[in-house]
């Protein structure tokens, strides 16, 4: 074969296209901050499924809460619960063995954070030792959580089914809040700020879970390009670990103050921004 023909043949062979995997926050990103509606994003979620692009929920929500959205949106990908507390993977989703801590209700579970009961115990010690009276989901009735969050009562009950992270509603002056946060950090717990509340846990964050899951996807799919979409400070660890970090606006039409290299700021709020970003970055 002459050289020109060979060149022609080679140049017509496209380089392999990396598979994409999307990691997404839920509240204020895929879901509307106030109504928790996903209607805006639904058509695109369906297109992602048809295009075989995994959509991985990576949220402070509990397993019980995320299962509702997995059912409604027909999403079968692995998911990251409670800000990186654990990764839940449908049995057989990855066709090879990997390390997991337990198998329950059809999931292989990679547990990353300390158990919720331990976090509650440490928080109680902090309260007693410092004469503080801050409260978390574990101290509230479901009706109070519903009132504070706008969730309906049934959803508030699912939000209470916590396994790793406590959610605190800190009130008072900025100084009082900072004092509580300092004491929590001194006790070796980490704190992250979500849309409404503070998440307290030990041993993990969204970024750690994203890194582990990305590695599993690489083993399954080969080269991949990861996209991460969030709206709040608790998304920073996730956004720092993906190839393309995307920030959508918050209600009030502003971006959370986040500095990251290559951060792609989408000029729309919540799910509207989510749709713009996903459509543009995946071309579907
Ligand atoms: Mg959020």
Query: Are residue 123 and residue 197 in the same domain, yes or no?
Result: yes
31: CA distance to ligand 1 center in Å? 8
Query: Are residue 156 and residue 258 in the same domain, yes or no?
Result: no
User: Looking at the 3D structure of the chain, how many domains does it have?
Assistant: 2
Q: What are the phi and psi torsion angles at 177 (to 5°)?
A: -65, -45
Q: What is the CATH number of the domain that holds 165?
A: 3.30.980.20
- In terms of Cα–Cα distance, which of 216, 211, 203 is closest to 240? 211
Instruction: Output the tens digit of pLDDT for each of the chain's 284 residues.
Output: 444 444 444 555 555 668 999 999 999 999 999 999 999 999 999 999 999 999 999 999 999 999 999 999 999 999 999 999 999 999 999 999 999 999 999 999 999 999 999 999 999 999 999 999 999 999 999 999 999 999 999 999 999 999 999 999 999 999 999 999 999 999 999 999 887 899 999 999 999 999 999 999 999 999 999 999 999 999 999 999 999 999 999 999 999 999 999 999 999 999 999 999 999 999 99
Percentages helix, strand, coil for the chain (3-state, rounded to 5) are: 40, 20, 40
For the annotated catalytic residues, the residue numbers are: 25
Q: What is the CATH number of the domain that holds 97?
A: 3.40.50.1000
118: CA distance to ligand 1 center in Å? 25
Query: Are residue 105 and residue 210 in the same domain, yes or no?
Result: yes
| pTM for the whole structure | 0.91
61: CA distance to ligand 1 center in Å? 10
Query: Are residue 74 and residue 108 in the same domain, yes or no?
Result: yes
Give Cα separations from 188 to 137, 169, 234, 236 (angstroms): 20, 19, 18, 20
Query: Are residue 54 and residue 170 in the same domain, yes or no?
Result: no
Query: Are residue 234 and residue 126 in the same domain, yes or no?
Result: no
């Amino acid at each position: 074969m002459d050289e020109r023909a060979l060149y022609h043949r080679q140049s017509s062979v496209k380089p392999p296209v990396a598979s994409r995997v999307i990691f997404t926050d839920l509240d204020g990103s895929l879901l509307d901050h106030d109504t928790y509606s996903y209607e805006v994003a639904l058509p695109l979620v369906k297109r992602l499924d048809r295009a075989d692009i995994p959509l991985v929920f990576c949220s402070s929500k509990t397993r019980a809460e995320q299962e509702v959205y997995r059912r409604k949106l027909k999403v079968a990908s692995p998911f990251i619960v409670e800000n990186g507390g654990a990764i839940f993977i449908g049995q057989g989703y990855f066709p090879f063995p990997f390390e997991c801590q337990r198998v329950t209700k059809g999931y292989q579970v990679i547990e990353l954070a300390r158990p919720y009961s331990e976090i509650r115990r440490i928080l109680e010690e902090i309260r007693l030792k410092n004469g503080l009276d801050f409260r978390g989901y574990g101290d509230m009735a479901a009706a109070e959580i519903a009132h504070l969050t706008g969730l309906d009562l049934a959803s508030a009950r699912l939000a209470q089914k916590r396994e790793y992270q406590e959610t605190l509603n800190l009130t008072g002056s900025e100084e009082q809040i900072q004092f509580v946060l300092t004491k929590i950090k001194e006790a070796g717990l980490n704190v992250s700020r979500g849309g409404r509340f503070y998440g307290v846990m030990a041993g993990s964050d969204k970024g750690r879970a994203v890194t582990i899951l990305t590695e599993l996807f690489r083993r399954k799919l080969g080269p991949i390009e990861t996209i991460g979409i969030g709206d709040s400070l608790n998304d920073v660890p996730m956004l720092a670990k993906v190839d393309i970090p995307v920030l959508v606006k918050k209600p009030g039409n502003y971006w959370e103050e986040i500095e990251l290299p290559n951060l792609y700021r989408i000029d729309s709020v919540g799910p509207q921004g989510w749709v713009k970003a996903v459509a543009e970055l995946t071309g579907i």
